Structure 1
């Protein structure tokens, strides 16, 4: 009897996992988006049943449990496609050695306080110092600056963060932009108060150019915004119409024949309407279509896309012409929600780019006051 019950449970789990293979748009029905988001966790009950089967020496049940557990990880493998234990070990050793070297011999270096411990005055002083250094380093002729900015080997550090109804720490955000030398910053769930706090903490000095979406009552948690360090060629309040908050964008000319457009996006969550959720995710694909029509142009989407590669709607967005930073690097799963528990987190926040750009690094980390981790990636031009 126990074997029959556990077999039925495994068949239910297998059917649950199969939901991730529905056609794009078919996942736009409650509660499918949430069920599909949990597919990567189906190995947990499968493992429990496998252990029971092993104890009972029920080999058929054991094989079925293993098969179901592996099926739940089918799309997770791509997050680790380039992972190497030896490379990770070497990286750990190099970081450890670097830390040891900084603490031995010679004069001791003063450790900077954590973001949360720095006063606004200290942060602003650091920003002014960074601006003075930038002005000194950029004292070449205008043509030299342009040549450097439009180099075919240029790379950009980009960052995206869901600000949780405007509750994220403005000081923490600005300090992170400064310490990580972020070129493009995309924020979601903004409020007018948070934008003012960001400027009070020096973001307008670090990033003089920005574009905000319109603040509307129909926004999902707040409006979106995007900031950039250099003067953009153009900016739009909403680069593509989707049934969610505006998708503000800035476009930078990288060479005489090519532009790169950065957009901050936040499709609705399924609880705000499954149809709008799916339509919003798939609708972002029009940015890739626009880039294709203009031949060499590049589009980069940054934001909380409320979906993962397990969702058919998200895979449709990738098929439109985007590559995902996490998937393309294959160096590990950068799950970003919720921030307060290390497991089980799910993948919601993304950095995507079309042909002509590639990702060379990606990292997630906490920012005070929000339930999402920030995602930082490095975009290099091909």
Structure 2
């Protein structure tokens, strides 16, 4: 039993490494070690069984606790199914969908192609408010171009993100007719920092803006397309591929976390908190406020407290705001909303302490967007990480949701494609608020060492 206790301790420490601060996982061999933690349940289950056989109940309890901790993140992928109130309905839906796919498979290829070409001018395909997206690592450009196009047709893909792309693959896709389905595309410029090739993104609908590099990370450029929906709403799609750990663990972590800047660009500013003179605060992220103002623009309830990474701020009865930083320093600023254009009062404290000095302003925002806007970002690609990695969780905390976690109908592991098990989760479809996901699934494309990942995205209110 001594050996079993030692092995249990090793597994416990191994699992505890997943709770390192973001960025601290950027040291060899941590990225690889953390990627394997989803499989810790196997030895831990064996330890529990051995403990029961040996009737060592303290060991059984300890092993069971570590086992539950190891399973905690895995259950996030199936939590909705566990809570499903109507299993029979889900079974009926499954077989109805299976029959539908069988009927579609019976259509001729020409007929299917015509249907999709007729729908290509709509981002949402056949269903208003929804659209299908797909991401695939093309393995140094070796993925089969014809199979990629067939996957686009079969899955009614409106946005296609590719990584590890080569000029030859782009030419092959064009020769095989991808422009009939997805006529618009943008790609990153080839750089020495590319890891296996450049990234590209294809669209059914003409974008309003394109860029070869939406955000700078120490890896291949991140091409993006932006679509303006209305004057208060837009959606940006990006294809990303942070470096793999074997090309530099520090750059691996920086690249993953660096993608969070895309999400921050469409989040309400965390640097400044805005209030209208009617006393209705506009809530921003984790900032909690209780401030009211009367119609004559005088503060009537002078109690404001807010706290985040930068520190706290208090609104005093004499219309001054004292901002306390984490380093112990403080600053007091007088707030006098006397002019009509000052009815929006802004308390200055930031999620990023380097972005502010703790002042108060009557206008403006920090990084981010106007709280009235409903801009969205979708990041697709081989992100070389998953939820056991602190760097990836930091990316999600920047304001992104993972489609597989949102749908919660199973773990969609994508690498390596040639093994049915074990596989790990590397490829993701992430999105910001005002979107949700369903119908997440893996698809196989010959020539790639990754499975492709597809999802249906829906606009929400």
TM bin (shorter chain)? 0.7 to 0.9
The residue that corresponds to 2:46 in the other structure is: 48
The residue that corresponds to 2:176 in the other structure is: 201
1:244 aligns with 2:219: yes
Helix, strand or coil at the partner of 1:299: strand
Structure 1: which 5+ residue stretches go unaligned?
104-108, 114-121, 139-144
1:369 aligns with 2:367: no
The residue that corresponds to 2:422 in the other structure is: 344
**How far is the alpha carbon of 1:365 from its aligned partner?**
2.0
The residue that corresponds to 1:294 in the other structure is: 369
The residue that corresponds to 1:116 in the other structure is: none
Within the candidate set 156, 160, 168, 2:131 is matched to 156
Give the conservation status (yes or no) of the 8 Å contact 1:213–1:245: yes
The residue that corresponds to 2:238 in the other structure is: 263
Give me the whole-angstrom Cα distance separating, in 1, the residues matched to 2:94 and 2:157. 22
Aligned 1:79-94 pairs, distance under 5 A: 79-84=77-82, 90-94=89-93
Query: Deviation per CA, 1:170-202, whole angstroms, max 9, x where unpaired?
Result: 111101111111010000000111111111111
**How far is the alpha carbon of 1:372 from its aligned partner?**
0.9
Helix, strand or coil at the partner of 2:164: strand
C-alpha distance 110-132 of structure 1, shift in aligned 2 (>3 A): closer
The residue that corresponds to 2:229 in the other structure is: 254
**How far is the alpha carbon of 1:129 from its aligned partner?**
2.4
Within the candidate set 19, 22, 25, 1:24 is matched to 22
**How far is the alpha carbon of 1:33 from its aligned partner?**
0.7
C-alpha distance 110-98 of structure 1, shift in aligned 2 (>3 A): closer
C-alpha distance 232-343 of structure 1, shift in aligned 2 (>3 A): same
Give me the whole-angstrom Cα distance separating, in 2, the residues matched to 1:218 and 1:207. 28
**How far is the alpha carbon of 1:90 from its aligned partner?**
3.8
**How far is the alpha carbon of 1:87 from its aligned partner?**
5.1
**How far is the alpha carbon of 1:340 from its aligned partner?**
1.4
Give the conservation status (yes or no) of the 8 Å contact 2:117–2:180: no
Normalising by structure 1, we get a TM-score of 0.86
Within the candidate set 109, 114, 117, 1:129 is matched to 114
Give the conservation status (yes or no) of the 8 Å contact 1:322–1:353: yes
C-alpha distance 53-321 of structure 1, shift in aligned 2 (>3 A): same
Aligned 1:60-209 pairs, distance under 5 A: 60-84=58-82, 90-96=89-95, 111-112=105-106, 125=110, 129-130=114-115, 133-134=118-119, 154-209=129-184
Query: Deviation per CA, 1:243-279, whole angstroms, max 9, x where unpaired?
Result: 0000000001112221100000000001100010000
Give the conservation status (yes or no) of the 8 Å contact 2:116–2:156: no
Structure 2: which 5+ residue stretches go unaligned?
268-367
1:331 aligns with 2:397: no
1:9 aligns with 2:7: yes
Give me the whole-angstrom Cα distance separating, in 1, the residues matched to 2:76 and 2:194. 33
Number of equivalences: 355
Q: Which moved more, 1:352-361 or 1:10-19?
A: 352-361
**How far is the alpha carbon of 1:169 from its aligned partner?**
1.1
**How far is the alpha carbon of 1:217 from its aligned partner?**
3.2
Choose 1 or 2 for highest CA Rg: 2
C-alpha distance 129-303 of structure 1, shift in aligned 2 (>3 A): same
Give me the whole-angstrom Cα distance separating, in 1, the residues matched to 2:137 and 2:226. 22
The CA RMSD over aligned residues, in Å, is 2.6
**How far is the alpha carbon of 1:43 from its aligned partner?**
1.0
Helix, strand or coil at the partner of 2:157: coil
